[in-house]
Structure 1
Amino acid sequence: MSAGPPLVAVAAIAENGVIGRDNDLPWRLRTDLRRFRAITMGKPLLVGRRNWDSIGRPLPGRDMIVLTRRADFAPEGVSVAHDWEGACAMARESAARSGAEEIVVGGGADIYRLALPLVARLRLTIVHAEPSGDVHFPPYDPALFREAFRESHPAGPGDEHPFTFLDLERIASG
């Protein structure tokens, strides 16, 4: 990805690496959804088609870019890219138009795999559970990042598992 606002990956990840099951989240964490909204609001949000399918609609206040191989994919209210470079170019153009200071990568696993070598920050929610799932966050080298923020939360009303917000900033290229 060429110059422009930094890429930031946002993900909720169980302790066993699971991020999804049957095209949905395998947990209910209202506090995490509020954080996701706050992080992504007013910014380009780059997601894959299966992630888009699970969301099912354009998210208000965000310019969504959907990366897909499907030539016939054309939902209203989102931009569609058919390769990583095109998706990044659309996100940079959106950020320039809106004045966004970062581009958010919102998954799924294939999109995270493409973005991980390029992200400046990981904004993670570590879900303290080990649910079954069919989608996993791709491996990354923690030595390339330093912890910038950590905040633990107990399970409670609207949050079925305890979890930790963990922000990591890149310290080395890789």
Structure 2
Amino acid sequence: MARPKPPIFEKTKIVAENRRAKFDYAIDTVYEAGIALTGTEVKSLRAGQGSIAESYAEVKDGQVWLINSNLPEFSHGNRFNHEPKRPRKLLLHEREINRMHGAVARDGMTLVPLMIYFNSKGRAKVEIALAKGKKAHDKRESIKERDWQRDKARLMRDRG
């Protein structure tokens, strides 16, 4: 009997997206993780602010942390406002954490955040991926493939 397909994540509002990651890395496995946030961080995300362009995730002491993600301070926050670039804990199952730790330690892979979004229940989620860095010739190959797909679509549109 065939293995059932995993459910596709329901993304209702995408807040921050790391579009460069798909160009710089060969994406292997994608995970959905919860993120431990304070109140003002959630308000800042709901306002559409936040960036994960230069961030990454790492496994430390059996926990996964999102490092270098920028969630700016909430404009109406008081003295208890959050620090913009603090490490944030990602909430995953222990089995997934062990799998990630093994892949990072053994295979030299990297944990790259792809996007931060709110799901259908209103919870902030992070989509992280196990990825391997591309070499320069791989990047040139993907540029060629992208250009060819664009030209092919243009030809089909003009002829058909």
TM-score, length of structure 1 as denominator length:
0.22
Give the number of the structure whose residues are more often helix, by fraction. 2
TM-score, length of structure 2 as denominator length:
0.23
